[in-house]
Each structure stands twice: as C-alpha cells, then as structure tokens.
Structure 1
Amino acid sequence: MEHEIVVEGFVLQVEVTHCENTPPCPGTWSSDWDAQGCRELEFKVVSGICYDDDGIRMDVEPYQLPILAHSLGRQIETALWVEIDAINRRQKRWAA
C-alpha cells in the first residue's frame, strides 16, 4: 500500500512492503510476542518532491531516494504508523 507523507520538508510517496501490527494480548503466555504484541514495518521510498527557498517544486532524484530512506528512516516510519493507525481507526468506525 502506498502512502504520501511529509518528512523534514520532503513530500514522499512510500510503499509499505511489509506491515506486522499485532496488538498485545497480556493473558497469553505461549510466547513473549503474543503477550507484548509486535509492530514492524518495512518500506520503500518510491518518489519524492521538495521545495526550494523560493517555493519552486523540485523532484528528488531516484538515486537520492535510498539515501533519504536511510537518513530519515525513523521519521518516515513514525509518519507511516500515524497514517496506518488513522486508517485502522477510520475502518473500525465505519464498520460499527
């Protein structure tokens, strides 16, 4: 699933390649993962844009995308979790 996020002045199109979002289940003692839950995310930055000081749009070059993914990995992951959690809340609200 692709998401558009804004991180450090970059507007990024990010594809989530793997998402594990298992909520904690404290009453389960079969394994630590079951009791504490698990949240993992793998992603790939597909494209990006930024704006210069004059407000002119500039595309991020394809060879710079892996560098951005590495240097802004934590911020990208946090922004993705915010998006994913919002989508899950909306789906639960509409299902009720």
Structure 2
Amino acid sequence: MTYEVIVEGFVLQVEVTHCENTPPCPGTWSSDWDAQGCRELEFKVLSGICYDDDGARMDVSRSDLAPFIWLNSQAIETALWVEIDAINRRQRWVA
C-alpha cells in the first residue's frame, strides 16, 4: 500500500512492502513474541517533493533523496506507523 508522509519538510510517497502489526496477547505463554506482540515495517520511498521559500514545488532527485532516506529512516517509519494506526482507527470506527 502507498502512503504520503511528511518528514522534515519533504513530502514522500512511500510504498509499504511488508507490515506486521500483531497486538500483544499477555495471557499467552507459548512465546514472548505472542505475549508482547510484534510491529515490523519495511518500506520503499518512491518519490519526494519539497517546497522552496517562495512556496514553489520542487521534485527531489533520486540521488538527493537517498541520503535523506538514510538519515531519516526512523522518522519515516514513525510517520508511516502514525498513518497506518490512523487508518485502522477509522476502519474500526466505521465498522
């Protein structure tokens, strides 16, 4: 699934390639993974844009985006979890 997240002023189009969001089940003693739950996320940044001081849109090249992704991968992952959790809450609210 593709998400749009904003990190450090960059608007990123991010494809989540793997997402595991298993809630904790404290009464389970078969393994610590079951008792504590698991949240794993793998993603691929498809594109990015930013805006200059005048508000003009600028596409970010792949060569400029690579170091940004490397430096901000944790912030990107956090922004993705915020989006995924918000979508899950909305789906539970509607259902």
Q: Tell me if both proteins adopt one fold, taking TM over 0.5 as the criterion.
A: yes
Q: CA separation in 2, counterparts of 1:33 and 1:88?
A: 22
The range that moved more, 56-65 or 71-80, is 56-65
Q: Taking every aligned residue pair, what percent have the same amino acid on both sides?
A: 76
Instruction: Give 1:63 deviation, angstroms.
Output: 2.4
Q: CA separation in 1, counterparts of 2:29 and 2:66?
A: 39
Match of 1:21 in 2: 21
* Long gaps (5+) in structure 2: none
Matched, 1:36 2:46: no
Match of 1:93 in 2: 93
Q: CA separation in 2, counterparts of 1:66 and 1:44?
A: 11
Stretches of 4+ moved more than 6 A in 1? none
Partner SS for 2:88:
helix
Partner SS for 1:27:
coil
Aligned residue pairs, count? 95
* Long gaps (5+) in structure 1: none
Normalising by structure 1, report the TM-score: 0.94
